[in-house]
Amino acid sequence: MSAEDIESYLLRMGVAHETIKPGIWLVKLDSSSLVVSIAGPVVAFRLKVMELPPTGREELYRTLLQLNTTEMIHGAFGIEGETVVVIHALELENLDLNEFQAVVDDMSMAASKHYPHLARFVPSAANAAS
């Protein structure tokens, strides 16, 4: 398995994408961008969900942990700096198109399905809902 195989999968899936540098792609999804990268023996997937709110983080963290145990099949919510992300990794050696596409689809669905629930932690979203 190689970078050319990942590029082939992206082309076969028909998703808009660009190569950032060798082994790293930015995949355009409906309302967000997924970073796919080769990191040693794995393919890493990272999708930004939202910025961390300035307050109410403890409840947000609890919600993310609960979603990880009840809703996430292929990946997990995590914190990267001041950002909530969905992450996943697959072994590069035996990766096939179906497995690759399942992760991309699952991550996209998780972000869009759970964002409305998570957005309540963002002050501007809470004010707009009032």
Cα–Cα separations (whole angstroms), residue 95 to 13, 16, 86, 88, 89: 15, 21, 20, 13, 11
pTM score of the predicted model: 0.82
Query: Would you list the domain boundaries of the chain?
Result: 3-129
Q: Which two tokens stand for residue 46?
A: 């990272």
Condensed to tens digits (0 to 9), the pLDDT of residues 95-118 reads: 889 999 988 888 888 777 877 778
Is CATH 3.30.70.920 correct for 3-129? no
Q: How far apart are CA 100 and CA 82, in angstroms?
A: 27
Q: What is the pLDDT of residue 124?
A: 65
**pLDDT grade, residue 129 (50/70/90)?**
very low
Q: What is the DSSP string of the chain?
A: --HHHHHHHHHHHT--EEEEETTEEEEE-SSSEEEEEEETTEEEEEEEEEEPPSS-HHHHHHHHHHHHHHT-SS-EEEEETTEEEEEEEEESTT--HHHHHHHHHHHHHHHHHHHHHHGGGSHHHHHHH-
Residues 6+ apart with CB under 8 A from 20: 26, 35
CA atoms within 13 Å, Cβ hemisphere of 119: 12
Condensed to tens digits (0 to 9), the pLDDT of residues 10-69 reads: 999 988 899 999 999 999 887 778 999 998 899 999 998 888 888 888 989 998 998 888
Distance from CA of residue 108 to its chain's centroid?
7
